[in-house]
Amino acid sequence: MKKELVIVIDFGGQYNQLVARRVRECNVYCEIYSYKTDIEKIKAMNPKGIILTGGPNSCYEADSPTYKKELFELGIPVLGLCYGAQLMMHVLGGKVESAPVREYGKTEVLVDKKDSKIFEGVSEKTICWMSHFDYISQVAPGFEITAHTADCPVAAAENTEAGLYAIQYHPEVLHTAEGTKMLSNFVLGVCGCAGDWKMDAFVENTIREIREKVGDGRVLLALSGGVDSSVAAGLLSRAIGKQLTCVFVDHGLLRKDEGDEVEGVFGPNGQFDLNFIRVNAQQRYYDKLAGVTEPEAKRKIIGEEFIRIFEEEAKKIGAVDFLAQGTIYPDVVESGLGGESGVIKSHHNVGGLPEHVDFKDIIEPLRDLFKDEVRKAGLELGIPERLVFRQPFPGPGLGIRIIGEVTEEKVKIVQDADAIYREEIANAGLDKNINQYFAALTNMRSVGVMGDERTYDYAVALRAVTTVDFMTAEAAEIPYDVLNKVMSRIINEVKGVNRVFYDLTSKPPGTIEFE
């Protein structure tokens, strides 16, 4: 099945991934390309619609990102957002200049053209998120103004005959109350997309594509038990069964019983047809980490040891044809589209690629999906909910939740404390509202009293944050009685702990993890 495609052209705005996500929420498939992408390539993809994103520049300045006028003459509907809207006007003969009043934040937008397709079903006065210092002072010939604000004469404009639409605000951010409706009006109403991009079709198509690509070859996957690698394993297993070998390295820094859970799902008694190799490397890691206290040194050892073990296992298996990876779309976008968004962080999957594994090609079955879509695919494949909705867990695991030296004894303490904490958060019904929560072990011991005995034990720190993107975060407000119960259980049930702290620090200045 050839899927309907909407293309998002990236001009460097901070919300560009959100634009693509919102379009996909309308069940329309969508991909992001740099503004440097050649128009012939865009044409060849035959998109049903094109969306131009925001960006930090002024379109009338000489070196600012731009696009050929031809883009607006392809007969494909185009929606420009913020910078994209200004660029559309600038290229087509309207006027864009520095605004006398900059608009930033939630702003009331008044719809002037009630029968505009973009505003179908949208309130006449609607709150939108504005963030601009330039404004459209004059629309291009053929355009009519469809909405304004108190300070901005052109909040939206359109040339319906040419299929061109401009919006000054950001419909993709949730602060724009009816933004998703407006984007859906564009992709479904204007572009005529059917909105039939669904997970079951994705799963079916991907399974077919994997079979075609792999043939009778062999595939190797490093399975961590995290959402992405688990869903990749599920997909590959359905596609090629025992041609897939998954290597699961238990580094002894997993949460309580986690290694067994992963084995339960993907191992010989699980529901997937594949070769499962569990490497019990706990002791090897504890030996390597003995005496090491510096956080970066710990991270490095944990990462390198993983690669080494994976390579050793791969060597035993012999040459494989494909190395599979759980790369997802945000990884692809964040490694840079070659456009303005640039490299936010180096590709975490490719960064960790083993050098000494003999394979011909890489296979990344999730590279087109956002995280929420990966989860949907996981459910579709029958992967248990507790795995699919698992909270983020860092690659170095408990190694960065034990401040200072890692020892087997400390791992046991933090595992037990963390299991109690998670259990009580779930019992209180708070688990859906907190994005990440865990116990960590401080490197501090202090004096206490238990019964009639003096104790000299460790302090556990509880962390819980609410966050949208994990780049900034707030400490979650957990009811005192829940914290109190967690404290009391940890002190009573976990040997070696005599104090419990709750971490109130936001990010920044703190990070979510402790090291």
Q: Which of 228, 232, 223, 233 is nearest to 254 (CA)?
A: 223
CB 406 within 8 A of CB 289: yes
Looking at 129-137, 167-175, 212-220, 394-402, which segment touches ligand XMP (CB under 6 A)? 394-402
Min. distance of Cβ 324 from ligand XMP in angstroms? 17
CB 418 within 8 A of CB 438: yes
Judged by CB under 6 A, the residue of 65, 163, 326, 396 near ligand XMP is 396
Q: Does 334 bind ligand XMP (CB under 6 A)?
A: no
Residue 176 in tokens = 């724009």
Q: Does 180 bind ligand XMP (CB under 6 A)?
A: no
Question: Which amino acid, one-letter code, is at 32?
Answer: I
Q: Which of 131, 139, 135 is nearest to 173 (CA)?
A: 131
Q: Does 371 bind ligand XMP (CB under 6 A)?
A: no
CB 130 within 8 A of CB 152: yes
φ, ψ of residue 27 to 5 degrees: the values are: 60, 35
Q: Which is nearer to ligand XMP, 133 or 389 (CB)?
A: 389
Min. distance of Cβ 2 from ligand XMP in angstroms? 35
Looking at 314-322, 330-338, 390-398, 484-492, which segment touches ligand XMP (CB under 6 A)? 390-398
Dist CA 82 CA 130 (whole Å) = 8
Site string for ligand XMP, 71-110 (x = CB under 6 A): ----------------------------------------
Give yes or no: 128 in active site: no
Min. distance of Cβ 343 from ligand XMP in angstroms? 17
Min. distance of Cβ 151 from ligand XMP in angstroms? 37
Residue 251 in tokens = 């580094």
Is the C-alpha dihedral spanning 348, 349, 352, 355 positive or negative? negative
Q: Does 244 bind ligand XMP (CB under 6 A)?
A: no
Is the C-alpha dihedral spanning 20, 206, 352, 246 positive or negative? positive
Give yes or no: 172 in active site: yes
Judged by CB under 6 A, the residue of 105, 469, 470, 472 near ligand XMP is 470
Contact set for ligand XMP, span 408-437 (CB under 6 A): 436
Min. distance of Cβ 5 from ligand XMP in angstroms? 30
CB 264 within 8 A of CB 359: no
Give yes or no: 82 in active site: yes
Q: Does 505 bind ligand XMP (CB under 6 A)?
A: no
Choose, from 26, 59, 82, 152, the residue flagged as catalytic: 82
CB 287 within 8 A of CB 318: no
Q: Does 507 bind ligand XMP (CB under 6 A)?
A: yes
Q: Does 295 bind ligand XMP (CB under 6 A)?
A: no
Dist CA 236 CA 240 (whole Å) = 6
Min. distance of Cβ 435 from ligand XMP in angstroms? 8
Q: Which of 361, 387, 356, 355 is nearest to 374 (CA)?
A: 387
What are the DSSP E strand ranges found in 27-94?
Answer: 29-34, 49-52, 78-81
| Catalytic residue positions, numbered | 82, 170, 172
* Site residues, ligand XMP (CB under 6 A): 392, 394-396, 436, 470, 507, 511-513
